[in-house]
Structure 1
Amino acid sequence: MKENKEYILAYGFAGKLLDALSAVTKKEKVGLVLIGDQELDQIVEDLLLKDEESFTEVISSADSYELELEHLLFVNFTQESLMHFIDKLKAEGISVPYKALLTEHNRKWFLRDLIEANRQEHLFVKLYHSSKNVLKIAVDVYATSKDAPLLAAMDNLQQQIEAVEMQGEMPAEEEANFFEKLRLSYNSLAERLNTLMMDS
């Protein structure tokens, strides 16, 4: 593996999005390696460049991919260089919600499993932020409605949010359990809010 050179394993990129990604990587002097469906069931470590391999300037990609998403795996990046590169992507209008930094842990995973874990993590974070936002709306509605079922739903969602915040990093099965509890609490509060807002 190239120890010092920062590079990205990119899955699912085609067309203008690939052109934009390629332009940013060239400008930032970051290597770009495209991977496709044939690599999904390989171990991440086996996809890493070996010392004698180099980055190619020829960019080609599939017209379509099995997984309908884009994923970036950042190799040899520090946290600081990762954030810098993500800022450069955003400045060019490139948003990739599914991404990971190569670690000693995830390098032993199948690429498909890593992408799925990133997808689940993204959904969890999105639900967490949506839950906090709906709670703020509910506080305002409760101030005028004093609706007891709304207050109960708010308390339940607040407890789930606090449970997630206290938990931190967790195994996938436990995370799925927390996600489901948070989702149910979110839906319960959203339903009650919708009912109250339609009645008013």
Structure 2
Amino acid sequence: MSFNKIDDKNNEKPNNPHKILIFGYSNQDMIKFESLFKNIGENNFVFLNKSNLSQKVYDIINSNNITESNTSNEDFPNIPFILLSGFSHKEIMNFFNFIKENNFPKPLVALLTKTNKSWFLKDLIKDVYQEHTIMKNKKINTSI
């Protein structure tokens, strides 16, 4: 499986760099990600940690050298989070299948947008988490 498969019906990719940012997973999961990504030829992934939370999303996406800041974010939770940049719709669906098939903890997922690319990583994760919580609560309330 490759995330670069082209879907004849939807092969449009955004004009953003093709990259996967990964945050909040255990060391064991990161090793598994790295191994599986290399097996399918995906090499545009970056593992992030709490020292990257105070960086702007687009700076991380555009950088080949991720710098770690000295800003303390120790109290920030390790929420499994993945940001996809430059993926077509079909590649996104393939990625979700990849996560499910390989039994990774289900992440919060965001796509790089014009709006969120200027945000700090921690603000994007918080925003996606809040949206997830609202949707989860809404689903629970409608099923009662």
The TM-score range, normalised by the shorter chain, is 0.7 to 0.9
CA distance in 2 between partners of 1:87 and 1:120 (Å):
24
Question: Residue 25 of structure 2 is aligned with which of 13, 19, 27?
Answer: 13
Counterpart in the other structure of 2:34: 22
Counterpart in the other structure of 1:46: 59
CA distance in 1 between partners of 2:40 and 2:133 (Å):
30
The number of residues matched between the two structures is 122
CA distance in 2 between partners of 1:43 and 1:118 (Å):
16
Q: Could you tell me the TM-score, scaled by structure 1's length?
A: 0.54
Counterpart in the other structure of 1:100: 110
Query: Larger Rg: 1 or 2?
Result: 1
Cα contact 2:22–2:45 (8 A) shared by 1: yes
CA distance in 1 between partners of 2:59 and 2:18 (Å):
17
Cα contact 2:116–2:124 (8 A) shared by 1: yes
CA distance in 1 between partners of 2:122 and 2:16 (Å):
26
Structure 1, unaligned runs of 5 or more: 55-63, 135-200
The 3 A distance-change label for structure 1 pair 5 and 102 is closer
- Deviation, 1:125, is 1.3
Structure 1 runs of 4+ with >6 Å offset: none
Aligned-residue identity in percent: 26
Q: Which has the higher contact order (CA 8 A, sep 6+)?
A: 2
* Root mean square deviation of aligned Cα: 2.4
Structure 2, unaligned runs of 5 or more: 1-14, 66-73
Q: Could you tell me the TM-score, scaled by structure 2's length?
A: 0.73
SS at match of 1:41: coil
What are the equivalent positions in structure 2 for 1:47-62 lying under 5 Å apart?
Answer: 47-50=60-63, 53=64
